[in-house]
Structure 1
């Protein structure tokens, strides 16, 4: 008689609320396609992971569509820790899109070139974030990218951290400019590594304070539209903070800053 099969390993992580909406992650997806598209194009068979896609598969479906505008050969694998969600997503599988049961161990035979984890660490403790980041970065292929962050329910406000195998690189703030009263409104969407650090004495608090001041100074540009006010604000902010992108991205309601400037003190 053959020996019994070993028990399946339990996925690493905990079940999230699973809240999801179509088009919720559009800002993050478009940034990834722009920032990481060249790396995806260079790879022979690039794989991207939508980690913790939630109760419905919309974000994985949309990630495939948006990444293929930059890298037509890319495939997407949605990974969920809740088996019922994987079963519900299976009918949406097609060429280039698959769904798997798993967690932070990212159970794929080959390391992916991209892992996107949106709204996954929101329920975790801040002390757990570094270990999760390290585990996910260790699963990346050479030249790979981990993008981890948080957004509101309809994707108007979003903040994410981009990490490589050696750790965090940048923080991006993205918003629908028409919905913004002041840049510090984005504080409520800071990722878990930063959201509890938005207090006096911490770099991210100083950054948002200075961003609000630059926004106030740019008030005369409001007559030209929120986009022009945002661009002017970011240009002023870049005099004191290491902004790493330029007007082409600022026009999208984005600004990306070097992680080292905002890292917890």
Structure 2
């Protein structure tokens, strides 16, 4: 029989804790743009920065960026390593607190947002579905015109130039977003190394994500003449070409930010 102490033990394992200021800016701005209305409508909009790492920068920045879209948003930074929580406490302020915990997400009620960036990278692929299910169960439910809470889980490089994330609602995965600093991109498939754990081992022939990245590279090559007008124009032309064969769910206003979002079902692993 489990002891009371073990029952309270946070769920998950300690991450490397690597973090840098401004690393998650692309993800944060996307969240503010696509989920800001849900946060504004909520009576108590709570967002969770799950596994923020060895320093609290990402939680501090998340609060600032979300409040540009929804000024009443509160952020809870959650870390499984107690020493990291203690180190973050001096940065607490109105709307920002830090708590010890893991995938159980120890906050009252159901948050409207859980962001888990660079957390599942160290886990095995076959563990991802269970973690997603657990985190989605903690989200605010849909209803009364609301789509409910949002889980954003993904991976980026150390300085945030390249990032891929999956967005999930209470019902499960919805979309996959590819985001990049366009000036640093040689070809779209460079983003493959930042695929989240659910997809990174599926970038092989016969899997949808491999076919998508192949078509992305081909469209990028075909749009080479637009490079004379800048990387953004080449990207816009490339993504527009992708819409002929892939269910791109966003619009040029997001493409101009170096993003493209595709329905999860089109990229989901086979088998």
TM-score normalised by length of structure 1: 0.98
Mapped partners of 1:138, 1:42: distance in 2: 21
Mapped partners of 1:80, 1:178: distance in 2: 34
- Residue 246 in structure 1 maps to residue 254 in structure 2: no
- Residue 148 in structure 1 maps to residue 153 in structure 2: yes
Aligned residue runs from structure 1 range 207-218, under 5 A: 207-218=212-223
Gaps of 5+ in 2: 142-147
* 4+ aligned runs moved over 6 Å, structure 1: none
The residue number in structure 2 matching 1:256 is 261
- Residue 175 in structure 1 maps to residue 187 in structure 2: no
The residue number in structure 2 matching 1:23 is 22
Aligned-residue offset at 1:7: 2.6
Mapped partners of 1:6, 1:133: distance in 2: 26
The residue number in structure 1 matching 2:240 is 235
CA RMSD of aligned residues (A): 0.9
* More deviation, 7-16/243-252: 7-16
The residue number in structure 1 matching 2:210 is 205
Could you give the per-residue CA deviations for residues 174-219 of structure 1, whole angstroms, max 9, x where no partner exists?
0000000000000000000000000000000000000000000000
The residue number in structure 2 matching 1:70 is 69
Mapped partners of 2:5, 2:224: distance in 1: 62
SS in structure 2 at match of 1:149: strand
Aligned-residue offset at 1:6: 4.2
The residue number in structure 1 matching 2:122 is 123
TM-score normalised by length of structure 2: 0.95
State the aligned residue count.
261
Gaps of 5+ in 1: none
SS in structure 1 at match of 2:69: coil
The counterpart of 1:185, out of the listed 182, 187, 190, is 190
